[in-house]
Structures are given as structure tokens and as C-alpha cells.
């Protein structure tokens, strides 16, 4: 990969790290906000829901803009949107104001992810594509972890408003960097043919160290007349349904584990502090698991690695509920679960650019993410229902981890006839 490609990928990874910090900002400041404003738990719940609602709507409504007007301008617009939301949140005077501003921030975060995932996939070489997607995906957890450490200092010395202000300033700082270095998607330029597409393509090719092209390759039939309905038309319908189902199933299990593992650790005999430590270990091992997946897919392929990660995630959850509940055993199993569950999420983001063609790639990713957020809402809720129904720990854990096995079957079907969608095939072959 050229330095130009590496820079494009690095910018997208950094943006996702900022998203991780921005999403976690409310969770880290909630106790201080509740104390300052005398909030009830229901009012805090509204604030949390506002962020999630904004992210879901952003994924579904802003992603199509990227396929119509370009991935680069969409990323820049989302950076502006979430910067405004974060900075303004630091000046909010009541729950209503903060809720609306968290919704705005959520729109920016939800809208930017499909575009940066698409750009990472398109500017990576074939050998490094899955690794780069994994780096982008785990960047979210890294950003949340670093943001958490910084927030402890900020809240202690400068109050909760400084956390939102810091996130906003960092997001603003990324705008000129992205403006200067983030390129437009080559596949978008070829698929949509905006005004000046050929000169724009040749400028990018020059930065890639490749020869200019005299004309663009033949346009895919129907690409210029893109509409949201294209995702549900013809053969694309099958791919869209498979991707949406995979996102829903994996995120259902992921958010169940993310939210309930600390409590399960405490229920199995650990102290509250050890339970929190187990959660931290689970997230850190998840970063390692996601990056490892990116390396391994280059050798064994995404389909094999996805099936392995999904199956081993299910198995590790079941073993977690069976083993002797010593501190060492439980923390070790939490780390193993985190390794495979985060890798499973990386598989989702690696799947999207494989099965959505260039003209609907961001829209398709946004739609699948919307289903993923639906699954993420269902997982923790279903756990509460099953626990209230007095299911055993092994029974409800196995039931809520079982979607990973179904997701493995879906991946096998979705990638059975994997083929890269056409773009600048001849020109880009040396880099891909």
C-alpha cells in the first residue's frame, strides 16, 4: 500500500476512535450530570436513548447521501455535525437541550460509519483490506478506552462539561485533516459519474503512483439511476437480507455480552471492582481479537475465520457458565469471550463491502447497521426477560449466544460465491 492509501485508512481509523470517545462521553459523565441537575433514572435513560436513536437514524438516512453525493463530503458533513453536537452539549442547561444535542451527535456518528467503512475497504489493497477494516472497527474500542482514561481527569479537575468540550475540539481538529488528505471513493466516481469524474479519478491515480486513464470503464447497468429500492431488487435482495440478518444476530449477542457480563461476574462470586476489571479485560482482549482476525483472513479467508470466530464465541460463553467460579477462571474466560465477540463484529464490517456494489455500498452498510442496532437493543432486553423467567445462567447465556451459530451459517451462504464488485479494475489491480 502507498503512503496515500495508508493516510486515507489512518484518517478513517482516527475518526472511529473519536466516535468511540464521543459515544462513551455521556456514560462517563452521567453520574456528575445526575448529581448537578438532580435527575431521576428515567431522565438519564432518555439521554442515553437520544444518542442511540440519533445513531440509528443517521445510519439509515445519511448513508444514502454518501452514495448519491459522495463519501468524502458525507464524512466531512458528519464531522461538522458531531462537532457541533459535542461542543454545544458542554453548554446545555437542561435535560431537553442535552437530549437534543446528543441526538444530533448520534446522527453524525451513525452517518459517518458507513462511509468510513466503505473508504477503508476501497483504499486498502486486497491483502490488507480485512486487517484495515479490523483496525477501523477496534479503533472504536481504543477511542472509548483512551477517552475513559482522559475523562477521569477531566471530570475530576474541570467538571463534566469539559468532557464534551474536549470531544468536540478533537472532532473539529479532524475536519481540516480530512479536508486535506481524505480522498473521494474511486468506486463512487466510476459508479455515479459526477461532474469532473474523469479528472478527479486521474488526480487520485496520480497520488497512487499510477498512470492516468483516457476514459472511465463501462458503467454498471442501473448505477446512475440509483434508489434505495435497488437494495431489494433482483439478486441484490438476497445479499441485503443476508447482511441485515447477520448484523442483527451478531449485535444481539454482542450487546448482551457487553452489558450483562459484568453483572454475571459479580453474581458468580466476584467483587464489584473485579467485575468491572473483567469487563475492561474483555474489551482490551477484544481489540487483540479484532486485529488478529484481520491478519488471519489474509491467509485463511473471511468465510473460514468468521465461522471459526462465531462458533468459538458461542462455545466460550457456554464454558464461561460451566467452569469453577474462581477469579482467575472467570477473568480468563471474559478475556476469551471478548477476543471472539469483537472479532465477530469485525467480520460484519468486512462483509459489507464484499456484497454491496459500489453504487449502493454506503446505503447497504447503513441499512445493515440499522438492523444491527435493532439487535443491539433486543439482546440486553431479552436477557432481562429470560432472567426474570428464572432461566438458569447456562440456559439464557446459551440461548442468547446461539445467534452466533446462525450468523455463521448466513456468512457461509453470503460468501459462497464471493466476487469483488467491478470498479477501476485495470487501473487499480496493482494496488488491490
At 422 the pLDDT is: 41
Please give the C-alpha separations between residue 287 and each of 11, 104, 111, 136, 292, in angstroms, as whole numbers.
Answer: 18, 28, 23, 11, 9
At 146 the pLDDT is: 80
Total domain count, the chain: 2
| 263 and 167 within one domain | no
Q: Give the domain-ending residue among 149, 184, 219.
A: 184
Structural domain includes residue 103: yes
Handedness of CA 359, 362, 363, 365 (dihedral sign): positive
Q: Do 354 and 106 touch, CB atoms closer than 8 A?
A: no
**Segment 110-135, tens digit of pLDDT:** 888 888 888 888 888 777 888 888 88
| 126 and 268 within one domain | no
| Range picked from 42-51, 176-185, 202-211, 307-316 for highest mean pLDDT | 307-316
Structural domain includes residue 430: no
How far apart, in whole angstroms, are the C-alpha atoms of residue 59 and residue 375? 14
Structural domain includes residue 214: no
| Range picked from 24-38, 57-71, 80-94, 175-189 for highest mean pLDDT | 80-94
How far apart, in whole angstroms, are the C-alpha atoms of residue 96 and residue 94? 6
Grid coordinates given for 261: 457480563
Could you tell me the pLDDT band of residue 316, with boundaries at 50, 70 and 90?
A: very high
Residues 6 or more apart from 102 whose CB is under 8 A from it? Answer: 26, 47, 50, 51, 54, 85, 89
| 276 and 394 within one domain | yes
Structural domain includes residue 213: no
How far apart, in whole angstroms, are the C-alpha atoms of residue 190 and residue 70? 11
Q: Give the domain-ending residue among 115, 149, 184.
A: 184
Q: Do 381 and 315 touch, CB atoms closer than 8 A?
A: no
Rounded to the nearest angstrom, the gap between the alpha carbon of residue 346 and the centroid of all alpha carbons in its chain is 8
Structural domain includes residue 150: yes
| 247 and 180 within one domain | no
Q: Do 280 and 149 touch, CB atoms closer than 8 A?
A: no
Grid coordinates given for 106: 448520534
| 320 and 240 within one domain | yes
| 91 and 157 within one domain | yes
Evaluate if residue 377 carries a pLDDT over 70. Answer: yes
Evaluate if residue 60 carries a pLDDT over 90. Answer: no
- Looking at per-residue pLDDT, the higher value among 156 and 105 belongs to 105
Q: Do 424 and 191 touch, CB atoms closer than 8 A?
A: no
At 172 the pLDDT is: 94
| 274 and 130 within one domain | no
Q: Considering the entire predicted model, what is its pTM? A: 0.75
Structural domain includes residue 15: yes
Q: Do 112 and 79 touch, CB atoms closer than 8 A?
A: yes
Evaluate if residue 294 carries a pLDDT over 90. Answer: no
Structural domain includes residue 207: no
| 272 and 159 within one domain | no
**Segment 132-171, tens digit of pLDDT:** 888 888 888 788 778 777 877 888 888 889 989 998 999 9
Evaluate if residue 250 carries a pLDDT over 90. Answer: yes
- The CATH number of the domain where 267 resides is what? 1.20.1250.20
Q: Give the domain-ending residue among 127, 155, 184.
A: 184
At 352 the pLDDT is: 82
How far apart, in whole angstroms, are the C-alpha atoms of residue 407 and residue 115? 24
Structural domain includes residue 215: no
Q: Do 265 and 386 touch, CB atoms closer than 8 A?
A: no
| 301 and 165 within one domain | no
| 265 and 158 within one domain | no
Could you tell me the pLDDT band of residue 302, with boundaries at 50, 70 and 90?
A: confident
Of all residues in the chain, what percent carry a pLDDT higher than 70?
92
How far apart, in whole angstroms, are the C-alpha atoms of residue 183 and residue 388? 51
Evaluate if residue 232 carries a pLDDT over 80. Answer: no
At 388 the pLDDT is: 82
Nearest to 16 by CA among 175, 130, 140: 140
| 274 and 153 within one domain | no
Could you tell me the pLDDT band of residue 202, with boundaries at 50, 70 and 90?
A: confident
**Segment 363-374, tens digit of pLDDT:** 888 888 888 888
Grid coordinates given for 218: 463501462
| 17 and 126 within one domain | yes
**Segment 256-267, tens digit of pLDDT:** 887 677 778 878
**Structural domain boundaries enclosing 162:** 3-184
Amino acid at each position: 500500500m502507498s503512503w496515500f492509501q495508508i493516510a486515507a485508512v489512518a484518517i478513517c481509523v482516527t475518526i472511529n476512535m473519536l466516535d468511540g470517545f464521543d459515544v462513551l462521553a455521556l456514560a462517563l459523565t452521567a453520574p456528575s450530570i445526575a448529581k448537578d441537575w438532580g435527575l431521576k433514572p428515567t431522565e438519564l435513560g432518555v439521554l442515553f436513548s437520544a444518542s442511540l436513536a440519533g445513531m440509528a437514524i443517521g445510519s439509515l438516512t445519511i448513508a444514502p447521501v454518501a452514495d448519491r453525493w459522495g463519501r468524502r463530503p458525507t464524512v466531512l458533513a458528519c464531522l461538522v455535525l458531531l462537532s457541533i453536537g459535542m461542543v454545544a452539549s458542554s453548554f446545555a442547561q437542561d435535560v431537553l437541550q442535552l437530549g437534543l444535542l446528543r441526538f444530533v451527535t448520534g446522527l453524525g456518528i451513525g452517518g459517518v460509519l458507513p462511509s468510513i467503512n466503505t473508504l477503508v475497504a476501497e483504499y486498502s489493497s486486497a491483502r490488507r483490506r480485512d486487517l484495515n477494516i479490523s483496525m477501523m472497527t477496534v479503533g472504536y474500542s481504543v477511542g472509548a478506552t483512551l477517552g475513559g482514561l482522559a475523562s477521569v481527569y477531566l471530570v475530576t479537575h474541570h467538571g463534566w462539561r469539559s468532557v464534551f468540550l474536549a470531544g468536540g475540539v478533537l472532532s473539529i481538529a479532524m475536519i481540516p485533516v480530512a479536508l486535506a488528505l481524505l480522498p473521494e471513493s474511486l468506486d463512487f466516481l466510476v459508479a455515479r459519474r459526477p461532474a469532473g469524474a474523469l479528472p478527479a479519478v486521474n488526480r487520485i491515480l496520480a497520488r497512487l503512483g499510477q498512470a492516468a486513464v483516457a476514459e472511465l470503464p463501462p458503467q454498471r447497468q442501473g448505477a446512475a439511476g440509483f434508489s434505495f429500492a435497488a437494495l431489494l431488487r433482483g439478486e441484490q435482495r438476497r445479499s441485503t437480507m443476508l447482511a441485515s440478518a447477520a448484523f442483527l444476530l451478531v449485535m444481539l449477542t454482542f450487546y448482551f455480552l457487553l452489558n450483562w457480563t459484568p453483572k454475571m461476574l459479580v453474581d458468580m462470586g466476584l467483587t464489584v471492582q473485579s467485575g468491572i476489571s473483567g469487563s475492561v479485560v474483555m474489551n482490551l482482549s477484544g481489540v487483540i481479537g479484532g486485529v488478529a482476525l484481520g491478519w488471519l483472513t489474509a491467509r485463511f479467508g473471511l468465510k473460514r475465520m468468521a465461522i471459526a470466530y462465531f462458533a468459538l464465541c458461542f462455545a466460550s460463553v457456554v464454558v464461561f457458565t460451566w467452569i469453577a467460579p474462581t477469579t482467575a477462571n472467570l477473568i480468563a474466560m471474559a478475556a476469551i469471550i471478548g477476543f471472539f465477540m469483537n472479532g465477530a463484529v469485525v467480520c460484519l464490517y468486512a462483509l459489507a463491502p464484499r456484497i454491496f456494489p459500489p453504487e449502493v455500498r454506503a446505503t447497504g452498510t447503513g441499512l445493515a447497521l440499522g438492523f444491527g442496532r435493532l439487535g443491539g437493543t433486543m439482546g440486553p432486553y431479552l436477557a432481562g426477560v429470560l432472567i426474570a423467567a428464572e432461566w438458569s445462567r447456562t440456559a439464557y447465556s446459551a440461548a442468547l449466544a446461539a445467534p452466533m451459530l446462525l450468523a455463521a451459517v448466513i456468512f457461509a451462504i453470503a460468501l459462497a460465491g464471493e466476487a469483488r464488485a467491478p470498479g477501476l479494475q485495470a487501473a487499480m489491480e496493482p494496488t488491490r
